[in-house]
């Protein structure tokens, strides 16, 4: 019996994200999302680094103005607090992955198996 809907094939570029590409790199939704999360973490780290540098320069150039000094300290503290949150998210993900799945990398690097 013939299929009444016919044969449906994906567009040309979709096959690179469904299966492993010819270079042997793993492709799919999970590696794509992991790459985006890693990119966001790098961007957050660079932003905090430059923010600390600029706040340090502002602190050094305050002179005797206590209000500007407080603003510079607040900016430094907020940048360090942001870095602590980014690092803490990795630690919490590893702890929850170990508690729930028995593997520290279960949430950070998920493996989805299918049929």
Instruction: Report yes or no on 36 lying in a domain.
Output: yes
- Is residue 50, in this structure, part of any structural domain at all? yes
Distance CA 10, CA 6 (A): 13
Report which of 15, 98, 114 is spatially closest to residue 106, judged by C-alpha positions: 98
DSSP annotation of 62 reads -
The DSSP secondary-structure symbol of 28 reads S
Structurally, the chain folds into a number of domains equal to: 1
Residue 54, in any domain of the structure: yes
Query: What are the tens digits of pLDDT across the range 45-82?
Result: 899 999 999 999 999 998 888 899 999 999 999 999 99
Q: Does 67 fall in a domain? A: yes
The domain containing residue 94 runs over which residues? Answer: 28-101
The dihedral built from the CA positions of residue 54, 40, 38 and 14, taken in this order, carries a sign that is: negative
Q: Is position 37 within any domain?
A: yes
Kindly state whether residue 106 falls inside one of the protein's structural domains. no
Distances (CA, A) of 10 to 22, 27, 88: 18, 16, 40
* pTM for this predicted structure: 0.63
């Amino acid at each position: 019996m013939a299929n009444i809907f016919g044969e449906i094939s994906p567009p040309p570029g979709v096959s690179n994200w469904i299966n492993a590409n010819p270079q042997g790199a793993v492709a799919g939704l999970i590696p794509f999302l992991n790459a985006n999360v890693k990119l966001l973490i790098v961007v957050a780290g660079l932003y905090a680094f430059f923010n600390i540098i600029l706040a340090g320069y502002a602190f050094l150039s305050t002179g005797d103005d206590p209000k500007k000094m407080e603003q510079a300290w607040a900016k430094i503290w907020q940048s360090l607090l942001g870095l602590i949150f980014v690092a803490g998210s990795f630690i919490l993900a590893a702890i929850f992955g170990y508690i729930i799945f028995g593997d520290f990398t279960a949430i950070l690097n998920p493996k989805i198996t299918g049929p």
